Every structure is written in C-alpha cells, then in structure tokens.
Structure 1
C-alpha cells in the first residue's frame, strides 16, 4: 500500500512543489547516455519527473508505480503521450526487454522486508533484457540522515501551489529502530483547513547488504558511485543482469 504522500488525491498534486528541484535526475540521464540504452523502465516513477526527461531524450520509457494519484500527475506531464504508464510494481512488468531499470529517490528503501526486496529484484530481472542494467540509489546508513531530519522537525514550510492554494508542510521523525526509520508528514491546506498526514518508513541497508542481495538474485555489480549532487550521503549502484 503506497504512502498517502503519493496516493492521496490532495497530496500527490502538491508533491513536486515540496520536493523542489530534482537536480539528482541529471546523473541518471548521464548514466543512461554512458550505458548507451534506449528502452528504460522507471520503477516507482511517482509523478514522472525522470520518466519525462528520459522520454524527451528520445528513449522509450515505461513508468510503473503503485500510487494511482501520482500516476495521474505523471500522465499530465506526458504531453506527447509517448510514455507507457503502468499502475503496479516491478512484479507486474515482466518481459519488457528493457535495457535499463532505474529506482530514484527513496524507492529502493521502501521495500522493508527481505521478501519484498527479493521480489522487486526478481521482477526487474525479468523485465530486463539479458545483460540489461539496474541502477538505483540508497542512503548511507552511517550518514544517519534521520538525525538531520529530527533537528529540522520544528520547521514548517508554506507554499502557494497552483490549484491548491497555500499549503503548510511539517515533518516529524516518529521512530528510529534501525535498520528502519519512520517519519510523518503533515499537510494543512489553508484554503479550507483540511489536514492530511502521511506516514512513511524506510529501510537503511548497508553497502555490503545491497551488493550481496544483487549478486544473489542474478546481477553483477559494475560500480558503486557517490550521488554527485549529495556527496557522502548516498550511493548509486550500477549493476548488470547476468542470468
């Protein structure tokens, strides 16, 4: 079940405004160029920011996400209607023959159980062509990002968003039970006073844990890089389907 921040009909349309500029996506376009890929699967595509950029670069793109409200936002950006949008997860897009699958942002960390992570890796494996690539990022556990989040919890952000008016956002870290970190976003729509909350939990896996899981499920790790826009905070895994 996707978090309300992605699936609620009032939250999905304001997500991009609070998420800010997606400078992180340029790195994925550069990796797609580096790998020379044409057909891309965007797993957990959300509101479609990367999928649209990939399509604009001339690539064939499939975006899959379990949050229908986010997909509706994504579709509104796809002015040429060239992207295939799928309501589901990585297990619902088998045999695509994709050259590359990507998971950006926190997508790789929303799979809390080993079984969910295994099914995701297997689903992507089936969607890739032989020797296709899987590229994704994860936050470094040792960086302890949740401590920064907790320090900023008292802050509020108010934005004036077209179609929604003034919206206030607050974040609160609600639990740290490593490897799991939970937090809550609270949104107040000042136009009518409606308050909507969204609870999320992320799993922080170590580099060794991620690499071992990839190898165990038919991938070869080609490279592990720093996220260029967030050095020291995240790792970008570049892997290749081997079987």
Structure 2
C-alpha cells in the first residue's frame, strides 16, 4: 500500500487537530499562552502548525496583527481557513521581520525541533530581530530530567476516529538517544493494524544552563522561568522548562 495515498499530509494535519485540540479550559498550557497572546498588541507564532491558537485569539476579539509561521504546507492549509490572520510558509531561521511584534511564541514543544547549534542560533537571531525592543518570546521545552522519551512506545498508543470515520491507532516510538538529541517515529495505522504512515522526528532536550546561554548570546534576558503551567518554579522533578525571554 502506498502510504502517501493511504494517508496524506492533509490527513495528518487534520488528525493532529483531533489529537491536540487547543482548549484553555482543559489544558493549562493553552491557557498560559492564551493570556499572553490576548495581552499583546501583535503576535508572531513560530511553528504555528494548523493555527489553532491564533484562530481562537481572533475569535475572542484580538484586534491586532497575528502572524503564523510554519514550514509545513499541509498544516498551513488548515490554518488558512481563517483569512484574517497572516500565514507564512517558512522556517524560524528564515524569518525576515524587523521590530514588528510585541510577542513571539513557540508552543507545543516546537522549540525542541531546533536541533543543531546553527539552527538554534539562526532561529533565535531571527526571532530577536522580529521583536520590538522589550518584546517577549514565550516557549516551553520538556525538561530532560523527566526523560519523556522513555514513554514513547507502542504500549502508549491512542485510538481515534478521524473526520472521515476511519478508526486509527497512533503511537510514538523512540529510535535513538544521542547526547541531548532524541530521534523517534510517529506511526499511524488502520484499525486492522495496516501501517498508513510513519514520520521520523528529532528533538533536542537542552538543560537550563545551555538554553540560557543560547538565549543570552542571541540578545535575550530571562524575564520568567517556570516548571509548571500554574507558575511553579523549576525543581528537581519538573517536567517542563517554560520560559519568557525579553529582547534587550
């Protein structure tokens, strides 16, 4: 079976929305970002995916400039269902705005997709340039001490019915851990076990010290740092590293 025909990029983008609905009432992480976005006059969402966060901001009456940036064409096709938001197909490093935004965000652990030192430096430089003086950059990473990748295996599979009525099974499986980079696969299968699609992704798990070194080198100061979505500190048991950095 041709996986590209059986389960297209558009199918994968639609499934993402089903598996990861943006809902501030259910998810404290979404509430955290919603508050920041609604308080900012202009927002750049880096790695916006299907655009759910910005969609909701506009629905709630955000009057300012909202821009979503992502290299995934299929995800942006879903994002573009709202035409009152700007959507740009590009990577963070290739962003070319200059002092245009009060707030930049990277939600859903998208920051960890910046795997190499060169990607990190180029992306942080572009975000820094896109922000106005004093502008803020909010994002989160999984804390490496929580070793989240150890739970990425087929026993944690999720069953879901997609918009077309198909019953699907989705799971992640860790392939390798090399230094602070974890490579894993995401598999989508039909109800009978037929594999429809396999995607491979690498994520970087930076510790706090190295993360902050990259931020400072890029011209950011650390305004706030949390280990929980309700504002708790980073501790020896934190699962998240939540950062609000400010352009100096």
Aligned to 1:50: 53
> What is the distance in 1 between the residues matched to 2:190 and 2:229?
35
Query: Does residue 1:129 correspond to 2:125, yes or no?
Result: no
Query: Does residue 1:73 correspond to 2:78, yes or no?
Result: yes
* Aligned equivalent of 1:115, options 118, 134, 150: 118
C-alpha distance 21-64 of structure 1, shift in aligned 2 (>3 A): closer
C-alpha distance 195-82 of structure 1, shift in aligned 2 (>3 A): same
Secondary structure class of the residue paired with 1:27: helix
May I ask how many residue pairs the two structures share in their alignment? 230
- Alpha-carbon shift at residue 20 of structure 1 (Å): 4.7
Normalising by structure 2, we get a TM-score of: 0.84
Normalising by structure 1, we get a TM-score of: 0.86
Contact kept? 1:14, 1:164, Cα under 8 Å: no
Contact kept? 2:109, 2:139, Cα under 8 Å: no
Q: CA RMSD in A?
A: 2.4
Q: Which runs of 5+ in 2 are unaligned?
A: 233-237
Aligned to 1:162: 163
C-alpha distance 214-155 of structure 1, shift in aligned 2 (>3 A): closer
Secondary structure class of the residue paired with 1:154: helix
Aligned to 2:235: none
Q: Report Cα offsets for 1:67-104 as digits up to 9, x if no partner.
A: 0000111122x2xx211000002223422610000001
Aligned to 1:211: 212
Contact kept? 2:152, 2:171, Cα under 8 Å: no
Q: Please identify, of 221-230 and 101-110, the stretch whose mean Cα deviation from structure 2 is larger.
A: 221-230
Secondary structure class of the residue paired with 2:172: strand
